[in-house]
Structure 1
Amino acid sequence: MKKYLVAISVITQALAACSTPNSNLNNQYYTMVDYYAVKKIDAHVHANNSSTAFIMQAKNDNMKLLSINVDYQDFPNIDKQAEIAHQFAKEHPNKFYFATTFSMEGSNNGQWKNNVIKRIDAEIGEGAVAVKVWKNIGMAEKDNKQNLIMIDDPLFTPIFKHLTDIHIPLIGHQGEPKNCWLPVSQMTVNNDKQYFTAHPQYHMYLHPEMPSYEDQMQARNNMLNNHPTLQFMGAHLASLEWSVDQISIFLDTYPDAVVDLAARMGQIQYQSTLDRSKVRNFFIKYQNRILYATDLTHSPTVSDAQFKSQAHKKWLEDWQYLTSNQTISVPEVDGEIISLALPKNVIDNLYAKNAIRFFNLAPKT
């Protein structure tokens, strides 16, 4: 705990010391002085703990939360996730939002699609603002012939058509970071090295029998081509995190789609060590299409105090990288990084306006 508090103190002092990072242009840029006053939304988190610590820390940081339910074996089951989300959405309206999901269990049954649609409708009735599909589609789930089920499978057509008809966005996590298809020693960021070392079942370099990275991206694109008016958010920079050029192509190809930054800020920071101007220009050009997000997860095994420290530290680090022109260090990337110093209007879009518009987060009366 002490190391987290020390880290937070160092970051806060450093940011406060640079309250005018852009000299006479400071009125065009935010600083640490503005951090608590600016309304923000973390558009991809996982509130998997019935404790209110996550929400309390978010309120302290003037941060709203969009918690995304996922059919993931390391998380509580999706019914428990839904129970927590329903409670928080009712108790903290206008501060906490959630996206629902569905299980692939029984997908070989003819009634499965109807049951999924019924579940989605029930969750929307409880306040869900979106539906999440996870990487188990394309990387784990199989049909009755033991073939992997990809996201462009006709199995999903009535579900995605229903979402289109009722104007509910789909959040898609297809594939993995491109690092997933590399040896650990060749991965570009430390968090990927750590994750795939701990989760070899998802480290595709070890599984050449599985679909390629390109196969995963093509299946996602096929699905979008088949559902051109479906509102879609590509989670984790649409798994194109390794190249802002590739993200740009995706956004240009699918002009109604958006992407979030969840768990991929390190990939962006890595690229900014190579070409800061390119990364900065990417954020400015696509400022209406990118949502701030972290993938912070409050699991039942993490203490409230430790999690609050971790969340606050992460939010401060990201704010510093996006708003200041300071040289910083982050755990995901080796070496120093020059922050992006994005203008206020870009920050306002990334941190709130895009999420409010895309997920229709109008205040509840």
Structure 2
Amino acid sequence: MNSPSTPPSDQGEGLTTPVSTHYGMADFARVRKFDAHVHLNVDDPALVQLALEDGFELMTINVDAPDFTPIAGQRAIAIAMADAYPGEVHWSTSFSMSGFGQPGWTERVTEDLATADAEGARAVKFWKDIGMGAEDPEGHLVMLDHPELMAVAEQARALGLALIGHQGEPHNCWLPLEEMTTENDRRYFSRRPQYHMYLHPELPGHDDLIAMRDRFLTALPGLRFVGAHLGSLEHDVDKLGAFLDRFPDATVDMSSRMSQLQFQSLQDRERVRDFFIRYQDRVLYGTDLSFHPSADPVKFCRAAHGIWTSDWRYLATDESQRVNALDADVPGLALPRDVIDKIYYGNAVRVFELADSADDDSAASVGESVPRR
């Protein structure tokens, strides 16, 4: 099989077809890919089957979100899917902040983390309720650099698990609806005012949460950290680059933040393109596709395929497409093939230590329910 970045070049005896520096839409299904941020919250293989058809492996991330399947159920589904599709489905464990600060909480969480590692987890998720809702027994907001959470992170580092951190929200979250840069953020926060921080000035600001995350990472050198949702620095690729420069063990996933990148590339396409080329080893492709029990599998998979192909068109090709979140036509970045191969696959293999999966040629190529938040 040809490698992803080496397309066939012969076109008749003695003739050679010039090799494009970037992929096209025709390459989508055959190139090995990895969606590093999905949520399989239902025991249904529909999304996994679609992923196989479209050339993806999946990282399903457990999280103690109020509108998700209970966390124990998510874990059971993740283990079952990983057992049924070894090499194609991987998973991240998580924990509940319920009971935080009570005797035995830290011991229970660290022991469970060791169990999850033995069961095949590749990472642990620290969710946004840390710093944005969870409280200690005295009613104080729990911040990421609390000693008990540091102990959990130390356990993750000792076990060799990556830590996926969702701290903060998009910068739009601290703006009034009419000043937000993307329609998808306006829609999301108008429907979920409890997460719209502009309405909650008593809670930490965006800069406070980013500083909290950075203190946490400074205290944990060597921790493999994945900043979910572009590390909540999606609004400014220069600030995101500065974060990656400061923390060499950190990477970020792109989940639910494509329209913010596209907003910036409408203003300065080369600035965004240059960011991806410079930090090609530090970014993971991801979507935040969330497959819930209430979803119609056929409609969900149709929407998921549309998201995967739309993102590929933007990142990998030079084609323009209409982006409804911006009400604008957005040209593709046409990133070089080797850059796409890293962002879409190689970086995830390294960060989640999936070398065995990468060596398995059998997975290399194939022939309202999809929230992007």
The alignment's TM-score, normalised by the length of structure 1, stands at 0.92
After superposition, give the CA deviation of every residue in 1:159-192 in whole Å (9 maximum; x if it has no partner). 1111112211100000100100000111001111
Residue 194 of structure 1 is matched in structure 2 by: 187
Contact 2:117 2:159 in 1 (8 A): no
| Structure 1 range deviating more: 97-106 or 26-35 | 26-35
Cα distance between partner residues in 2 of 1:349 and 1:227 = 26
- Equivalent residue letter for 2:246: T
Q: Amino acid of the residue matched to residue 326 of structure 1? A: E
Pairwise CA distance, 1:361: 1.2
Gaps of 5+ in 2: 1-16, 361-373
Q: Contact 2:29–2:54 (CA<8 Å) still a contact in 1?
A: yes
Greater mean deviation of Cα atoms: 29-38 or 171-180: 29-38
Pairing partner for 2:239 from 236, 243, 246: 246
- Once the two structures are TM-superposed, the CA of residue 26 in structure 1 deviates from its matched residue by 4.2
Give distance in 1, aligned partners of 2:93 and 2:157.
16
Structure 2 contact 230–257 (Cα < 8 Å) conserved: yes
Aligned mates of 2:159, 2:118 — CA distance in 1:
12
Q: In the alignment, what sits opposite 1:32?
A: 25
Distance in 1 of aligned mates of 2:325 and 2:282: 24
* Residue of structure 2 in register with 1:18 after alignment: none
Alignment of 1:204-219 (within 5 A): 204-219=197-212
**Length, aligned pairs only:** 342
Return 234-243 or 322-331, whichever deviates more: 322-331
Please list the CA deviations of residues 129-164 of structure 1 after superposition, one character each: whole Å capped at 9, or x if unmatched. Answer: 000000000111001221100111112122111111
Name the residue aligned to 1:88. Answer: 81
> CA–CA distance in 1 between the matches of 2:18 and 2:230?
30
Aligned counterparts of 2:348 and 2:314: Cα–Cα separation in 1: 20
Q: Deviations over 1:18-61 (max 9, x none)?
A: xxxxxx86432111121111010000000111111110110110
Q: CA deviation at 1:209?
A: 0.7
Structure 1 residue 101: Cα displacement: 0.0
Correspondences of 1:162-201 after superposition (within 5 Å) = 162-201=155-194
Q: CA deviation at 1:247?
A: 0.3
Q: Are positions 1:323 and 2:316 aligned together? A: yes
Mark the runs of 5 or more structure 1 residues left unpaired by the alignment.
1-23
Q: 2:93 maps to what in 1?
A: 100
Q: Which runs of 4+ in 1 moved over 6 A?
A: none
Moved more, 236-245 or 120-129: 120-129
Paired residue secondary structure (1:37): coil
Pairwise CA distance, 1:253? 0.4
The TM-score with structure 2 as length reference comes to 0.90
Please, which of 229, 236, 248 is the counterpart of residue 255 of structure 1?
Answer: 248
Range with bigger deviation, 24-33 or 323-332: 24-33
User: Are residues 1:287 and 2:280 paired?
Assistant: yes
Root mean square deviation of aligned Cα: 1.2
Matched, 1:266 2:259: yes
Determine if the alignment matches structure 1 residue 347 to structure 2 residue 340.
yes
1:115, 1:334 → 2: CA distance? 48
In percent, how many aligned pairs have the same letter?
44
The secondary structure found in structure 2 opposite 1:151 is coil
> What is the deviation of 1:333?
1.8
The residue matched to 1:250 in structure 2 has which SS?
helix
Once residues 204 and 34 of structure 1 are traced to their aligned partners in structure 2, the CA distance between those partners, rounded to angstroms, is 41
Secondary structure of the structure 2 residue equivalent to 1:110: coil
Q: CA deviation at 1:108?
A: 1.6
Structure richer in helix, relative to its length: 1
> 3-state DSSP class of the match of 1:43?
strand
Pairwise CA distance, 1:332: 2.2
Counterpart AA for 1:311: A
Aligned equivalents of 1:293 and 1:329: distance in 2?
Answer: 20
| Higher mean C-alpha displacement, 168-177 vs 155-164 | 155-164
Question: Which amino acid is the alignment partner of residue 348 of structure 2?
Answer: A
Of 98, 106, 112 in structure 2, the residue corresponding to residue 113 of structure 1 is 106
Aligned residue identity for 1:338: P
State the one-letter code of the partner of 1:277: E
2:134 aligned partner: 141
Query: Is the 2:102–2:137 Cα contact (8 Å) retained in structure 1?
Result: no
Q: Which amino acid aligns with 2:346?
A: K
Aligned to 1:64: 57
Provide the secondary structure at the position in 2 that maps to 1:351: helix
Structure 1 match to 2:48? 55
> SS at the partner of 2:248?
coil
Specify the alignment match of 1:122 in structure 2: 115
Q: Give the partner amino acid of 1:316.
A: T
